[in-house]
Amino acid sequence: MNNINELLDSAINETKELKRGEVFLVRELFKGYEWNRIPKKDRILLGTLFLNYVKEAPDNSVEAIEKTRANQQKYIKK
């Protein structure tokens, strides 16, 4: 499986394909089978790294919004 930095880069690149105003979860940036192949501990780490990227990137076009009932962070494309 890919290392966590490659997964993060893939998720960040996939946000470029989203349209303005679209709401998404990190897992939706991957095909279902790809996401399921990522070990749970790595999915949790990926979520944390993606949130940190969103908060710290100065020219970021993604914003963190509320969480789901399952405590998953939701994002919106600005």
Greatest CA separation for the chain? 32
Q: pLDDT digits over 21-73, tens only?
A: 999 999 999 998 999 999 999 999 999 999 999 999 877 899 999 999 999 99
Closest-CA residue to 62 (of 5, 14, 27): 14
Write out pLDDT tens, residues 55-69. 998 778 999 999 999
Rounded distance between C-alpha atoms, residue 36 and residue 56, angstroms: 28
In 3D, which of 59, 55, 57 has the Cα closest to residue 75?
55
Question: CA nearest 68: which of 35, 24, 15, 21?
Answer: 24
pTM beyond 0.75: yes
Instruction: Report the pLDDT averaged over residues 12-22.
Output: 95
